[in-house]
Amino acid sequence: MDHQPPPFFKRGPAPLALLSFYVTLSVALLVVDARLQTLEVLRQALSLFTHPVQQFAHLPAQFLDNATGYFASLPRLQDENAQLKRARLENVTTLLRTQQVEVENERLRKLLAVKERQQASGQLAQILYAARDPYSRRIVIDKGQQDKVVAGQPIIDDAGVVGQVTRVFPLSPK
């Protein structure tokens, strides 16, 4: 009597063999991608689909941030406004002096036939969120390849150089 299990219960490879295969494949893909950056195009293509999901997942946090900003106290905003007006008045003399120096420098450059310096360009970006990574400090901003952001560009705030763009996706860099 030949007893065969039905085709529905046919056994494939052993579970331990499948686990070993998938672990080996995963480690190989990690090493190849780390060394050769071969999966960058795939990662960018996937980011086009995952970006709307990320935006949707951050809606509750954005709502809470906006709600706390909305309910900010009026006296605090009035104090801040008064401080800004004082600072503007204090900076007027510095601005006028800077404008005079620029005019004088322009005239001296023409006299000496010196080439004009290149103007530094930049763009403002908003920090969307900080990525949770225990080994490095990463932030995600609201600019991407469509805004002409490239990997390697410096990130600067009012205190100086903060960091560097490490990865750029079509809709937002990291």
**pTM of structure:** 0.43
Domains in the chain: boundaries: 9-65, 72-114
Q: Which pLDDT tens digit goes with each residue over 39-96?
A: 888 888 888 888 889 889 989 988 888 877 777 677 788 899 999 999 998 899 899 9
Residue 173 banded pLDDT, cuts 50, 70, 90: low
114 or 8, greater pLDDT? 114
3-state secondary structure at position 117: coil
Q: Which pLDDT tens digit goes with each residue over 122-162?
A: 888 888 878 777 888 888 888 888 888 888 888 888 788 88
Residue 84: both structure tokens together: 């800004």
3-state secondary structure at position 160: strand
Q: How many angstroms separate the CA atoms of 128 and 139, rounded?
A: 8
Pairing of strands 138-141, 154-157: unpaired
Residue 8 banded pLDDT, cuts 50, 70, 90: low
Pairing of strands 154-157, 160-164: antiparallel
Mean residue pLDDT of the chain comes to: 83
3-state secondary structure at position 140: strand
Task: Compute the average pLDDT of residues 97-110.
Answer: 89
